[in-house]
Structure 1
Amino acid sequence: MSASASSTARIDSLDVLRGFAILGILVMNIQAFSMVSQAYLNPTLGESLTGSDFWLWAIAHVGFDSKFLALFAALFGAGMVVMAERSEADGAGPWRQHTRRMAILALIGMVHAYGIWYGDILFIYAVVGMVAFTFRRASIHRLLALAALFYAVPVVMGLAMTGLFLIMPGPGYEATVAAYWQPPAEAIAAQHDAYRSGWLGQMAQRVPDAATMHLLALPTEEGWRVLGLMLAGMAALKGGLLTGAWPLRRYVRTGVLSAAFGLPLVIAGILFNQATGWEMTTSLYLGTLFNHLGAPLVTLAWVCGALIVLKQGLWAPLLARLRAIGRTALSCYLLTSLLATTVFYGHGLGLFGRVDRIDQILIVLGVWTVLLVVAPAWLRRFEMGPVEWLWRWGVKGEQPALRRQAAPIL
């Protein structure tokens, strides 16, 4: 089905899912906000990972790690199809508008990555989005085949890097461990000092951390993963999955089967890493492949569950708030970073490296509450989020209306 032929309810489903993704992403991102960068990959860094620490991490890993980033990337791909069809319906050139959208998004991402938080995904989405857009007219089968092909690249990379670790000379291996897996105490202290300092003092750590994402992760792993997910999102839109067009029974069956295959695969990765003692040789790449392969299935289960709730008309007040977050997703994503860095970095409370996993979850709940309150309140008065307004202004070349003229829908 063409995206332009979708009903308002089906477009609303994309907004609900987008809002759901914004909240879910924070469950894992909170670790990157609050802990040294290596701790995201190596959860044993600086702690025993036993008792409640282990279970909190394990629940987050199984249910959220890469799952909502996958959903966000898939929705981004679906959104490209929708925007292209709207551009064509308006008589505008879709390539011209898409190029401007991605260029402005890349600029926003650069400001975010190097000025606020190194874990930005916007720049990566902008770069990969230029490639993904070329496939927007492909059939569902071709999109899925290409998605699987691109998504497999990090698997090949992971296997190759694991083999490299096995033959790497001792000094080189130890240097890699210190850089990416188990940094020495003085390196950890330096990260603490940098992020607990003022904004300018943070730059010494934030700039190299962001550059590592853009120069290393983007071309070798993350870019391929995101490209595959964007194409899968295009296929999911065209096939009616994301629009709520499937019968309820199909969503139930697909969700159950996806969870039944995906969850054991992700859990197997935890058991593998535990059994191998979280050594870098086995865990940095090989140990993450379980989650890499299982994450899309768990994501699909989340999507089916959310759309079942939407189709059944359940939890309408919560869905309305999620829809508001989805309609202001870019602004809410950046607001999340502003709130989290204010809590953890030195220009705010300076809690970086001082918060355990229980407190991290409490902070997540606090940020969720802010977004669930602020987004609907904003849309009662305005047509779109503030950053969306700037983005659209840059793309269209004329200032769009911001203040809501008619009675609000929310």
Structure 2
Amino acid sequence: MTPQRPTSRRYAALDVVRGSAILGTLGTNIWIFTDVEGLVGYLNGTGRATGAWAPVQAVLQQFAQGKFLGLLTLMFGIGLVIQQRSARCQGLRWPGGYPWRAGLLMVDGVLHFLLFTEFDVLTGYALTGLIVAFILTTGVRAQRVWAVGAVTVHLAMLALVAAAVASAPAREPRPLSPNPYADGSFRDLVAFRIDNMVLFRLEVVFILPLSIALFLVGAHLFEARILESDRGALRRRLMVVGLGVALPLDFTLGLLGGDAGLLLGRYGTAPLVAVGLLAAIAHRYADGREPGAAGRALSNVGRMALSCYVLQNILCSTVCYGWGFGLAARSDGATVVPGTLVLFGVVSATLILVSRLWLGWFDRGPLEWLTHRAYERLARAHGDRVTAPAVSSTP
């Protein structure tokens, strides 16, 4: 790892968006960590707040539900097309050695899934990135056909699942016994993830068409120069659709639509909100302004997105699960919301501080550095020319 040195121009908006997406995914996932039954309890609704905290929890969960995951997915698509541009500028073929990058991300995701979190997104991004890398070798018209086809498949699947959930009879969820999240060791929880791998990885399969579409949308928006100052009309249209139309509909579905409404919001309207968020942040920095204090904090997290994503889940696992400090088991309906908010604040502040200190000495995060070094060795060992790191590329 080398000391930090001057680099070429970065798009300020991309780092801020990426940092916002990382902290936003924390805002989604932290409710899973603080549920006494982990992901199983979160899906069953066993960790709900009581009294005056119940509506607060519902609104906070809906605020983050699916939107920042969609934003992160868009950013991966933008990062992919930036890497493609970098390869072309160096006269390299595409996708060239990119499959090695995707393979390394898959390894990261599998280890992350087994050791810390069963709702890992890295494996899904590795698979999606590999597919989209080859789609990007086709023409613009073919890419649009792929995007429309992926959206069509996703909406059909979503409609079927939502209809099945809406028509299913209500049932009382059974407690998780034994409960490895609260009572098990680190090894017990790893074994639990392995035993339930098919169940825990279903979402990755279900959202694959949506992920492909969002990768391509992100790539298309970058190619459409959404970050440039003269594209204000495009950004305003996207903000109207995403924040003016989709956001109120998303809250209505999520808060009033029951389980089917939650599904329709998370996988239907939330991606549109994500596009609006991307446009809004891009609009703020399109005139070339430098980020303020909050923007700089988010930018540092964004530049270390992979490291910060893994670190936030390590910290939350350690604090919440029984093999660590067992916070989740000590919470109840009256304390789960304030406890979760405090934990979110502490972990967010830790990510901001760590990223600032680290980037004061190095030009990339530790996992980013390790992954790039491994990619260099693999590519060269197999005769591929190595693509120089692209500015503001894949998180």
Instruction: Give the TM-score taking structure 2 as reference length.
Output: 0.83
- What secondary structure, in the 3-state scheme, does the structure 2 residue paired with 1:120 have? coil
Q: Partner amino acid for 1:332?
A: C
Matching residue of 1:205: 192
Change (3 A) 1:337 1:306: same
Q: 1:232 aligned to 204, 217, 225, which one?
A: 217
The Cα shift of 1:250 comes to: 4.8
Question: Deviations 1:303-329 (Å, cap 9, x if unpaired)?
Answer: 233223334637512222222211111
> Could you tell me how far 1:351 is from its partner in structure 2?
1.6
User: Partners in 2 of 1:107 and 1:86 — Cα distance?
Assistant: 24
Q: How much is the aligned-residue C-alpha RMSD, in angstroms?
A: 2.9
Q: Which amino acid aligns with 1:23?
A: L
Q: How does 1:75-90 map to 2 (within 5 A)?
A: 75-90=75-90
The whole-number CA distance in structure 1 between the counterparts of 2:241 and 2:149 is 22
Distance 1:302 1:289 in 2: 19
User: In 1, distance between residues paired with 2:200 and 2:49?
Assistant: 27
Partners of 1:266 and 1:164 lie apart in 2 by: 20
- Residue 318 in structure 1 maps to residue 294 in structure 2: yes
SS in 2 for 1:96: coil
SS in 1 for 2:330: coil
| Match runs of 1:95-174 below 5 Å | 95-138=95-138, 143-144=143-144, 146-161=146-161
Q: Which has the higher contact order (CA 8 A, sep 6+)?
A: 2
Cα separation, 1, equivalents of 2:208 and 2:40:
20
Give the equivalent residue in structure 1 for 2:277.
Answer: 302
- SS at 1:78 equivalent: helix
Give secondary structure in 2 for the equivalent of 1:381: coil
158-167 vs 80-89, which moves further: 158-167
1:16 aligns with 2:16: yes
Identity within the alignment, %: 23
Partner Cα distance (2:269, 2:294) in 1: 28
8 A contact 2:182–2:321 mirrored in 1: yes
Residue 235 of structure 2 is matched in structure 1 by 251
Corresponding position of 1:38: 40
Q: Are the counterparts in 2 of residues 244 and 311 from structure 1 also a CA contact under 8 Å?
A: yes
Q: Is the 8 A contact 1:56 1:358 kept in 2?
A: no
Give CA deviations for 1:202-255 in whole Å, capped at 9, x if unaligned.
Answer: 2232324444233x2222x122221111111111111122x3444446534532
Structure 2 counterpart SS, 1:377: helix
Alignment of 1:284-295 (within 5 A): 285=260, 287-295=262-270
Bigger helix fraction:
1
Amino acid at match of 2:361: R
Unpaired runs of at least 5, structure 1: 1-6, 400-410
1:300 Cα deviation from its structure 2 partner: 2.3
Q: Is the 8 A contact 1:116 1:341 kept in 2?
A: yes
How far does residue 295 in structure 1 lie from its aligned partner after superposition? 0.9
Letter in 2 for 1:106: M
Give, as a single letter, the amino acid of the residue that structure 1 aligns with 2:107.
L
Given the superposition, is the C-alpha separation of residues 296 and 50 from structure 1 closer, same or farther in structure 2, using an over 3 Å criterion? farther
| Cα contact 2:67–2:273 (8 A) shared by 1 | yes
Q: In 2 relative to 1, CA 206–195 (structure 1 residues): closer, same or farther, beyond 3 Å? A: farther
* Equivalent position amino acid for 1:183 in 2: P
Amino acid at match of 1:342: T
Question: CA 1:8–1:305 in structure 2 vs 1: closer, same or farther (change >3 Å)?
Answer: farther
1:364 positional shift? 0.9
Residue in 2 aligned with 1:266?
250
Aligned length: 367
**Is the 1:110–1:123 contact (alpha carbons within 8 Å) kept by the matching residues of 2?**
yes
Q: Is the 8 A contact 1:196 1:351 kept in 2?
A: no
Distance of 1:390 and 1:30 partners within structure 2: 27
1:217 and 2:193 aligned: no
Cα distance change, pair 47–237 in 1 and its aligned pair in 2 (3 A): same
Q: Could you tell me how far apart the structure 2 residues matched to 1:166 and 1:322 are?
A: 39
Indicate if the aligned counterparts of 2:242 and 2:276 stay in contact, CA closer than 8 A: yes
- Structure 2 distance, partners of 1:50, 1:140, is 53
1:51 to 2:52 alignment = yes
Matched, 1:387 2:367: yes
* Structure 2 match to 1:372: 352
Cα distance change of structure 1 residues 88 and 257 upon mapping to structure 2, 3 Å threshold: closer
Q: What secondary structure is seen at the aligned counterpart in 1 of 2:264?
A: helix
Please give the TM-score of this superposition, normalised by the length of structure 1.
0.80
Matched, 1:190 2:165: no
Paired AA for residue 222 in structure 2: L
* Secondary structure class of the residue paired with 1:352: helix
Q: How far does residue 271 in structure 1 lie from its aligned partner after superposition? A: 4.8
The separation in 2 between residues aligned to 1:259 and 1:69, in whole angstroms, is 16
C-alpha separation between the residues in 1 aligned to 2:54 and 2:166?
A: 30
For 2:297 and 2:216, the matched residues in 1 are separated by 28
- Asked whether the equivalents of residues 256 and 301 of structure 1 are also in contact (C-alpha less than 8 Å), the reply is yes
- Secondary structure of the equivalent of 1:74? helix
- Which SS does the other structure have where 1:156 is aligned? helix
- Alignment check: 8 A CA contact 1:139 1:235 kept: no
Match of 1:384, SS state, is: coil
The code of the aligned residue for 2:55 comes to F
